[in-house]
Amino acid sequence: MAQVSMTVNGKAVKRSVPDTTLLSEFLREHLRLTGTHVGCDTSQCGACVVHVDGRAVKSCTMLAAGADGASVVTIEGLAKDGALHPMQTAFNDNHGLQCGFCTPGMIMSGVDMVARYKAEGRELTEAAIRHELEGNICRCTGYHNIVKSIQDAAARM
Amino acid sequence: MYATTYHRPGSVAEAATLIGANPEAKVLAGGQTLLPTMKQHLAAPSDLVDIRRIPGMAGVSAAGGVLTIGAATAHADVARNADVLRHAPALACLAAGIGDPAVRHMGTIGGSVANNDPAADYPSAVLALNATVVTNRREIAADAYFKGMFTTALEEGEIITAIRVTPPKRAGYAKFANPASRYALVGVFVAETASGVRVAVTGAGANGVFRHKGLEAALAASFTPEAVDGVKISAEGLLSDIHAAADYRAHLIGVMARRAVAAA
Ligand code: FES
Ligand code: FES
């Protein structure tokens, strides 16, 4: 068993879990934070994307023990004091989802890409958003409204 | 995933001791290949030795005009590192095209080079740039390092600590990515180095990354995209699988070589 301590959405958590526990499993089954979805479990779909120490990662492809000491943000941690994060609002306003299964990962990837491009002073064009979404798969929307949502949010963030 | 014991050593020496004590142990560098492989029950290491957070294992230095890239440097960090962008922009461009953004935040150069996947990007850069693979025991020249698919000169318990690159005069990389996996169906890295023009091909060889002597000779005579046209690229020894036949891969080597030279 691994003793795992980390900060999740600003709260310190500590659990003893099997060494093989994935971060996605840790969040969903041990912390009951089921907003992080597991679509493929093979590193392809991006439904499980969370931020670890400020960077988007696929939580199905990281061990919980590997995140010991880290600060993790999940979709549940984005809204502040009941107000949606601009990325969430933009997905809402632009009909950026249908079934919603991919949405937590899309939003976490969206927030990550906007932050990176802003930090580097690069323009997040439509083409760049599509390229950045390479690791996020949506079965419903055809992506157009997801791209629009991220573009819209980038202007608000 | 089969049961395993996770370790996070604080130093390379401690990591080496852990691996020495557990013959079925594996180094966990970024886990973007190893963890999926373990999930599929294709690997079952008794122990995982996580080297990502060992102090000094991640980061780039350009001391003395030579790039030293720590083994635990993530692809995303190689892609945007100022020294890499200045001294070997082709390497930054290659790193920026591996997998997807989330994978690039976790996957590491050392992990990729140690794994030597026949379709991985980094082996082509290491070979074409005549880079040095630095381990906890020795320094291995690229030409002596790659030994075929998933096979390298690394000995039991040997850990890559850094990749050292002497900046090339110019270099370029182009890949034709498999539309589903984004791995290289064919990737060609061309470099004009102090020891001449070197061309390394990934994704295509039945025996992993390899140098293409015909392309090297043609580009040494004239480092231009047109020079590629005169080179006959044989399909012999190339992979044939559901993704592409050997003769198609041979054709793509020419196309990617031309693009890589144009980008250099
Ligand atoms: S569940 Fe992690 S990438 Fe699909
Ligand atoms: S909205 Fe259904 S998978 Fe994206």
My answer on whether B67 and B43 are in the same domain is no
Q: Which domain holds residue B133?
A: 60-263
Residue-level pLDDT at B182: 83
Q: Which of B206, B179, B202, B207 lies closest to B190, judged by CA?
A: B202
- Average pLDDT of chain B? 96
Per-residue pLDDT of A61-84, as tens digits, reads 999 999 999 999 999 999 999 999
Q: Is A47 close to ligand 1, i.e. is its CB under 6 Å away?
A: yes
Q: Which atom of ligand 1 is nearest to the CA of A59?
A: 2
Note the pTM of the prediction, 2 decimals: 0.96
B181: pLDDT strictly greater than 90: no
Strand partners, A56: A51
Tell me the CATH number for domain A86-156: 1.10.150.120
Q: Structurally, how many domains does chain B consist of?
A: 2
CA angle, A138 as apex, A60 and B117 as ends, to 5°? 50
Question: Is residue A114 within 8 Å of residue A87, measured between CB atoms?
Answer: yes
Per-residue pLDDT of A80-103, as tens digits, reads 999 999 999 999 999 999 999 999
Per-residue pLDDT of B202-246, as tens digits, reads 999 999 999 999 999 999 999 999 999 999 999 999 999 999 999
My answer on whether B16 and B137 are in the same domain is no
Out of A62, A63, A134, the one facing B100 most closely (by C-beta) is A134
Chain A interface disruption, residue of B73, B103, B182, most A CBs within 10 A: B103
My answer on whether B9 and B98 are in the same domain is no
Q: What is the CATH number of the domain that holds B142?
A: 3.30.465.10
- For residue B164, give every residue at least 6 positions away whose Cβ sits within 8 Å of its Cβ, in sequence order, or none: B66, B67, B68, B69, B131, B132, B134, B139
- Give distance in angstroms: CA of B66 to centre of ligand 1: 38
ipTM here: 0.96
Mean pLDDT of B75-102: 97
Distance CA B83, CA B140 (A): 23
CATH topology assigned to domain A2-77? Ubiquitin-like (UB roll) (3.10.20)
Per-residue pLDDT of B3-45, as tens digits, reads 999 999 999 999 999 999 999 999 999 999 999 999 999 999 9
Q: Is A54 close to ligand 2, i.e. is its CB under 6 Å away?
A: no
Question: Using 50, 70 and 90 to split pLDDT, how confident is the model at B179?
Answer: confident
